[in-house]
């Protein structure tokens, strides 16, 4: 059982509307949130006023935007998965329950792959970047919100990097 007296939930407008809006919130017990506010005061002076004003205009549209964003991500995820199945058939993943990325088992050393991809101008984030124990070295995270042509170019480049090399 989770003690509700210590439970916090967080939210943000950046994933729903635009990554540049740096407005978020924390919900929880008054005493615990109050301690977080005190810690924040020691670190900064608060969110930019323009972002807060934008949030006031956007919040009434949150439900509509949530449906629009959900439909967009579902379409994009299906397209990304289709490209990956055709281009990198040995890669494995589970359809995400949420979010805007695929967590993919490349079947090989994803850290090395990400280094080689960077040499080709692709920034690919390997699994250890998401692990406190530097594990998941076979995994990469790929965003699903990219345009089809970009996904196709990226997949083709990665397929070339994964192909067995002639010695």
For the stretch 17-43, pLDDT in tens is 988 888 888 999 999 999 988 888 888
Contact 27, 13 (CB under 8 A): no
Q: List the domains of the chain with CATH numbers.
A: 4-47 (no CATH), 63-162 (3.90.1150.10)
Residues 39-76, buried b or exposed e (16+ Cβ, 10 A)? eeeeeeeeeeeeeeebbeebeeeeeeeeeebeeebeeb
Contacts of 30 (CB under 8 A, 6+ apart): none
In the chain, what percentage of residues exceed pLDDT 70?
97
Query: What is the per-residue pLDDT across 40-94, written as a single tens digit (0 to 9) for each?
Result: 888 877 778 899 999 999 999 999 999 999 999 999 999 999 999 999 999 999 9
């Amino acid at each position: 059982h989770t003690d509700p007296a210590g439970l916090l939930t967080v939210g943000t407008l950046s994933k729903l509307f635009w990554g540049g809006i740096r407005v978020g919130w924390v919900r929880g017990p008054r005493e615990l949130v109050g301690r977080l506010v005190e810690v924040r005061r020691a670190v900064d002076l608060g969110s930019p006023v323009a972002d807060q004003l934008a949030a006031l205009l956007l919040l009434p549209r949150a439900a509509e935007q949530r449906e629009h964003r959900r439909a967009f991500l579902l379409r994009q995820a299906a397209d990304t998965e289709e490209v990956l199945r055709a281009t990198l058939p040995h890669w494995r993943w589970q359809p995400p329950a949420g979010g805007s990325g695929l967590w993919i088992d490349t079947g090989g050393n994803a850290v090395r792959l990400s280094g080689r991809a960077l040499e080709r101008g692709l920034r690919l984030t390997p699994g250890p970047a998401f692990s406190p124990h530097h594990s998941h070295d076979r995994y990469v995270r790929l965003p699903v919100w990219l345009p089809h042509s970009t996904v196709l170019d990226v997949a083709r480049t990665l397929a070339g990097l994964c192909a067995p090399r002639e010695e």
